[in-house]
């Protein structure tokens, strides 16, 4: 238990579906992140939120749409995905003052068919 909870743990979706990934942190952190973990690639930072404001969008395709309604919750809305988007999507949180440890959730294993 890391204090960062992601749901669902597994998701299979068709290319025309719309789904959402959810992340919740109970650590009092003010920064939240989405990472994509694919086999044999570095963890790719997708989005950064600081105090609910998006501060980084790392050239992510628009078929991924993040939402951060408050400092404790983060969503990733998915629509018209491609098979190459299949990966493990990780949520993390930290304090914004920089350089401190990031706490990760267990991830959502996404398969696009």
Partner 1 sequence: AQSVSQHNHHVILSEAASLELGCNYSYGGTVNLFWYVQYPGQHLQLLLKYFSGDPLVKGIKGFEAEFIKSKFSFNLRKPSVQWSDTAEYFCAVYTGTASKLTFGTGTRLQVTL
Our separate counts of H helices and E strands in the chain read: 0, 11
Among 12-20, 66-74, 76-84, 95-103, which window interacts with partner 1 (CB under 8 A)?
95-103
* Nearest-angstrom CA–CA distance, 91 and 58: 15
Query: Given the complex with partner 1, which of 82 and 100 has the nearer CB atom?
Result: 100
Binding of partner 1 at residue 86 (CB under 8 A)?
no
| CA nearest neighbour of 36 among 98, 93, 107 | 107
- Min separation Cβ 16 and partner 1, Å: 31
Binding of partner 1 at residue 4 (CB under 8 A)?
yes
**Near partner 1 by CB under 8 A: residue from 2, 17, 80, 86:** 2
**Near partner 1 by CB under 8 A: residue from 11, 90, 110, 112:** 90
Place of tokens 């993390």: 92
Binding of partner 1 at residue 99 (CB under 8 A)?
yes
* Nearest-angstrom CA–CA distance, 91 and 108: 9
| CA nearest neighbour of 48 among 71, 80, 22 | 71
| CA nearest neighbour of 112 among 93, 91, 88, 76 | 88
* Residue ranges binding partner 1 (CB under 8 A): 2, 4, 31, 33, 35, 40-43, 45, 48, 50, 55-56, 90, 92, 94, 96, 98-99, 101-102, 104-107
């Amino acid at each position: 238990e890391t204090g960062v909870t992601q749901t669902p743990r597994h998701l299979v979706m068709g290319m025309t579906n719309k789904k959402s990934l959810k992340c919740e942190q109970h650590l009092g952190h003010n920064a939240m992140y989405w990472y994509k973990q694919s086999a044999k690639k570095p963890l790719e930072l997708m989005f950064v939120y600081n105090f609910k404001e998006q501060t980084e969008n790392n050239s992510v395709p628009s078929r991924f749409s993040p939402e951060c309604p408050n400092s404790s919750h983060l969503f990733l809305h998915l629509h018209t995905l491609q098979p190459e988007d299949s990966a493990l999507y990780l949520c993390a949180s930290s304090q914004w003052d920089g350089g401190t440890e990031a706490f990760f959730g267990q991830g959502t294993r996404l398969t696009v068919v």
